Amino acid sequence: MRVVLEKRPERSRAMQVASPLLAVALTVLFGSILFAARGFDPVHAIYVYFIGPLTTLWSVEELIVKATPLVLIGAGLAICFRADLWNIGAEGQLIAGALAGASIPILAPEWDSALAIPAMLVLGMLGGMAWAAVPAFLRNRFGANEILTSLMLVYVAQYLLDWLVRGPWRDPHGFNFPKSISFNDWHLLATFGDGRVHLGAVFAVIVAAVLAVFMARTLMGFEIRVRGEAPRASGFGGFSQAGTTWLCFGISGALAGLAGICEVAGPVGQLQPTISPGYGFTAIIVAFLGRLNPLGALFGGLVLAICYLGGEAAQVELSISEKTAQVFQGMLLFFILTCDALIRYRVRVERAAPGSSRLRASIGLGNPAARAADAGGTAR
C-alpha cells in the first residue's frame, strides 16, 4: 500500500481557501504540543502568541510597522516566483536601497525641501533595482543561476553597509562608533498614531493592490504567469524571456529597496551595521504564505509579524525562548507547503505499486532540457 498524489483536473477552489487555514490550524496544534512538551500551558501560550498582539492598540500599530517591509518585499517576490525566477537576495537589495536613499540625509543633511523625501524614496528604489539587476543580467547574459548570485550579493551588500558606517559615512561626532548621523526631521517619513506607523505602511497597501491588478489584468502580468506555469508557451504575448527576467527582478528589487529606505527613514532613523533583522529572507515565506499573490502578501506579512511579536510577548510574559519562535515559523512554512499540495493534487491510497505508464511519460523523451514538459513543475 502506498500513498500517491494524483493531479486534480483543475485547481481546487475549496482547497485554495482551506489550505492556509489548515496550515495555521496544524501549526497551532503542533505548537501546542511543542509548548506542552516544554512545560507551558499550551492554551495560554497560544493565546499570548497569536491573540495577545491583537488585543492592544499599540501592539497592533507595532504589527503594522513590522509587517510593512515584509509586505513590500513579499509582494515583489511573489511576482518573481510566479515567473519561476528565484530572487532570494532581497535582503541585499533592501540594504542597497537603504544605502542609496540614505545618501541624501547623510551627504546633504541641510537639504530641507519637499522634494527630499520623494528623492530618497526614488533613490532607494533605484538602489534596490540596481542590486537586483546584477543577477538578472548574469542570468540573461551568461545563464548564471540567479539563486546563487542574488544570495552571494546579500553578503556583499552587508559588508558594503558595514564599511560605510564604520568609515566614510560615520557620524563625525559619534565617538567613532559605527553609525551615521541621525537623520534630520525633514528626512524622516511622516508617521501616524503613536509615532511608529510610517508612510511605508501606506505604500505597502498601495503596492500590493497595484501589483495584484497588474498580475490579473495586464498582458505583461499574464505573460509572467504563463512563464511560470508553462514556460514553453511563454513568449507568445510578444515578451522575451530576458525581458520578463529584467522586469521581475526590477520590480522585486525596487520594492526591496523601497522597504530598505522606509526602514532607515522610518523606525531606525539612521544607518547602522544592521538595519534589517532578515526581512529579505522572511519575505520569501511571506510570498508563499500569500500564495504568490501580491494581495496575499498583505495577509502573509501580518501573520509573520504576529509570529514575531507573539514570540517576543511569549519571552516577556512566559519566558519562552526566542528559538521556539523560530522553530514555530519553520513549522508554519512546512505546513503551508504541505497543504498547498492539496490544491493541485488529490491524495489517494493505492494497494499496489503502479507500473510506469510508458506511453504517456515518454512524451518527455528526447527533450533533455524540458523544464516545460512537466506541468507539475509549477506546483507550489
| Subset of 57-76 contacting other proteins (CB under 8 A) | 57-59, 62, 65-66, 69
Minimum gap (Å) between residue 128 Cβ and other proteins: 17
Q: How many whole angstroms separate alpha carbon 366 and alpha carbon 275?
A: 50
Q: Which residue do the cell numbers 533583522 mark? A: 277
Contacts (CB under 8 A) with other proteins, residues 202-261: none
Dmax over CA atoms of the chain, in Å, equals 76
Minimum gap (Å) between residue 221 Cβ and other proteins: 21
b or e along 39-49 (b: 16 or more beta carbons within 10 Å of the residue's beta carbon)?
ebebeebbebb
Contact between 47 and other proteins by CB under 8 A: the answer reads: no
Minimum gap (Å) between residue 355 Cβ and other proteins: 8
Contact between 11 and other proteins by CB under 8 A: the answer reads: no
The 172-211 site mask, x for binding other proteins (CB under 8 A), equals ---xxxxx--x----------xxxx---------------
For residue 200, count CB atoms less than 10 angstroms from its CB and return exposed for 0-12, middle for 13-18, buried for 19 or more: buried
Minimum gap (Å) between residue 322 Cβ and other proteins: 5
Please enumerate in sequence order all residues whose Cβ is within 8 A of that of 147, keeping only pairs 6 or more positions apart, or say none.
86, 88
For 3, half-sphere exposure in the C-beta direction (CA atoms, 13 angstrom radius) is 3
Q: How many whole angstroms separate alpha carbon 264 and alpha carbon 183?
A: 9
Query: Considering only CA atoms, which of 379, 119, 142 is closest in space to residue 245?
Result: 142
Q: Which stretch binds other proteins (CB under 8 A): 24-32, 104-112, 235-243, 268-276?
A: 268-276
What is the DSSP annotation of 298-310? HHHHHHHHHHHHH
The 130-169 site mask, x for binding other proteins (CB under 8 A), equals --------x---xxxx-xxx-xxx-xx--xx-xx--xx--
Q: Which is nearer to other proteins, 127 or 260 (by Cβ)?
A: 260
Minimum gap (Å) between residue 175 Cβ and other proteins: 4
| 85 Rama sector, left if φ>0, alpha if ψ -120 to 50, beta otherwise | beta
Contact between 351 and other proteins by CB under 8 A: the answer reads: no
The 86-115 site mask, x for binding other proteins (CB under 8 A), equals x-x---------------------------
Minimum gap (Å) between residue 338 Cβ and other proteins: 5
The 13-42 site mask, x for binding other proteins (CB under 8 A), equals ------------------------------
SS3 label, residue 88? coil
Contacts (CB under 8 A) with other proteins, residues 271-310: 272-277, 281, 284-285, 288, 308-309
- Exactly one of 234, 244, 270, 293 binds other proteins (CB under 8 A); which one? 270
Give the number of other Cβ atoms within 10 Å of residue 65's Cβ.
21
Contact between 1 and other proteins by CB under 8 A: the answer reads: no
Sign of CA dihedral 365, 368, 370, 371: positive
Query: Considering only CA atoms, which of 179, 21, 212 is closest in space to residue 105?
Result: 179
Sign of CA dihedral 175, 178, 179, 180: positive
Q: Are 89 and 153 in contact (CB under 8 A)?
A: yes
For other proteins (CB under 8 A), the number of binding residues is 109
Contacts (CB under 8 A) with other proteins, residues 316-335: 316-317, 319, 321-331, 333-334
Minimum gap (Å) between residue 11 Cβ and other proteins: 13
